[in-house]
Each structure stands twice: as structure tokens, then as C-alpha cells.
Amino acid sequence: MAQADEGGVPFWLSGQYASMAAVPMATGWSLVAMPYSYSGSADKSKTFQHGQSVNAGLSARESFMLIQLGYVAEEKVLGGQPYVGLGWGPGTNTTTASVSVINPNVQLNRSNTSNGSTDIYPLASLTWNKGNNNFKTYITGDIPVGTYSPTSLSSIGIGHAAMDAGGGYTYLNNTTGLEFSGIVGATYNWQNNQTNYKNGIDSHLDWSISQFVSQSWQVGIAGYVYYQLTADTGSGDNVGAFKSRVSAVGPQIGYLFNIGAKQAYINVRAYKEFWAQNRVEGYATIATVSIPLGK
């Protein structure tokens, strides 16, 4: 078995959407902060390619703070509320391999740490509200300017451009407090010209179910499914045409509060991964803090 998605890092950050994912935001400027932490591993029977190296017994620890500045216009587009934003953030990644092969050399217990920044992520979306029903469509992408090295086990950027599009739905009943959301999409990856490796087309689903227990507090569960639709290709692919997949589920808690006359929101969730194939499996913790900045 071998790693799909070069280095085990797809463009889409699974779990980035959860409760109220498709609910329209307040007009004006906003700042979304997303602290993220992940720890995962795979046993020695699975090999993973990153750049020119093929690695077994992989473990990874990653954390970063993604900051997204965005603007919601008052003017409707196709009856929906338009949003444009730009995301970026600092981070660190430590990756270790029990065995790392760069022909003809073999290195045992290899470890690399990368400190730097993510790629830049532009985002545009439209959201619609009809009573308890909310709908969303979006398009986003990856501008590969983050910390990346084809000779290191660890990177924060992915080393290539990507585009992702999809849509979602949120049911929010203000009377009963019941909420559930789902965001589904697909990613197209361009070739990494530093390694001549091209990731396949990826699909993903982020979902959540929650209940407001007061006007401010909500509790529930959240999860995600990641599934690679087409295999990796390119002259730099030394491990074969493999695909990857993973699922996760875990608890979440949310809190609504006011900053002046505008409403802010924080959501914290933790995920335990399972059903992994051809990638590492572990635990992720994500928080989303949405702060209105006004017009």
C-alpha cells in the first residue's frame, strides 16, 4: 500500500466546516480565526512518497493558525448573499519516518520539522436563506506560496495549485434549536512541478448535527469524509496509482455572543479518524472563531 496525495497532505482541510456552515453572515467585514492541531501515524506496512523519498512508518504532528479576512456585500447576486475572503496563517509541522529511502540511500528514524506559513487561500461564496433552510455554494483554491520543500519530510504548503468547488445546506430551527449542516465538494489539483507529481481528484464531506440548549450554547457531533476519486499520476509518482480515504467523528460545542451590536460565534470540535486507507490516521482539533468587524 502507498500514500495517495503527495506527502499525505491534500488541499482540503477536512473538518473546517461544521455547525451553521451555510447560514448567511452579517454584511460588512469579518475576521475568521481557525486554530488547527493534528496528530496521526501509519504503520510500517504502508509507504508514503514525498518528493524523491519513499517512507514507511510515518507519523506527523501539525498545528497552524489560519486567519481569513472577508467581506459580505449588501447587494445580492442571483438572490444570494456574496462573500469574498482570503486566508493565510503561520504553522509548524514535524514528520518522522522509521525508514526513508532516497535511492540508493536508506535512512532510519528520519525526522524533519518545518516552521513557516500556509499557502494563500482565496474564497468566494453565495448563501441563501429561506426560513429554516439555508443554502451555500462556494469556490476556493490554493496559491502555492507557503513553506514547502520537496527534499523534506515535512511541509506546511502543498507545493502546487488547486481549485475546489462545492455547496452545502444548513437546517436551523430557531424555535426548537435543532441544527444540522453539510458541505460537499471536489478538488482539482495541478501538477507539482518541483516533483512532477500530480494528485488525483479528491471529494470531501463535512457534516454536523447540534442542539441549542440555550440562546447562546449549542452541543452536538461533527464529522467528515474524505475520498479520493481518481488516482495520482505524473512522471514523479514512484509508488503507483493509489487512492486514499478517511472518515472522522467527534464532539462539538458552540457559543454565540455579541460584540457591540453584531453577533460573533465560536465553535470547538475534536475528531477521531477511522476508515483510513493509504494515508495517516489520527486525531484533529479545530476551533472556528468568527468576529464581525463592521462596515
Q: For 66-117, write each residue's pLDDT tens digit.
A: 999 999 999 999 999 999 999 999 999 999 999 999 888 899 999 999 999 9
Predicted pLDDT of residue 2: 41
**Amino acid, single-letter form, for residue 37:** S
- Strand ranges for 42-104 from DSSP E: 47-50, 53-72, 81-88, 90-102
Which DSSP symbol is given to 7? G
pLDDT score of 3 more than 50: no
pLDDT score of 226 more than 60: yes
9-28 mean pLDDT: 94
Stretch (H or E) spanning 217: strand 217-228
- pLDDT: is 172 or 102 the higher one? 172
d(CA 73, CA 81) in angstroms, rounded, equals 7
Predicted pLDDT of residue 46: 82
Domains of the chain: 6-294 (2.40.128.130)
pLDDT score of 236 more than 80: no
CA 286 to chain centre: 10
280-287 mean pLDDT: 97
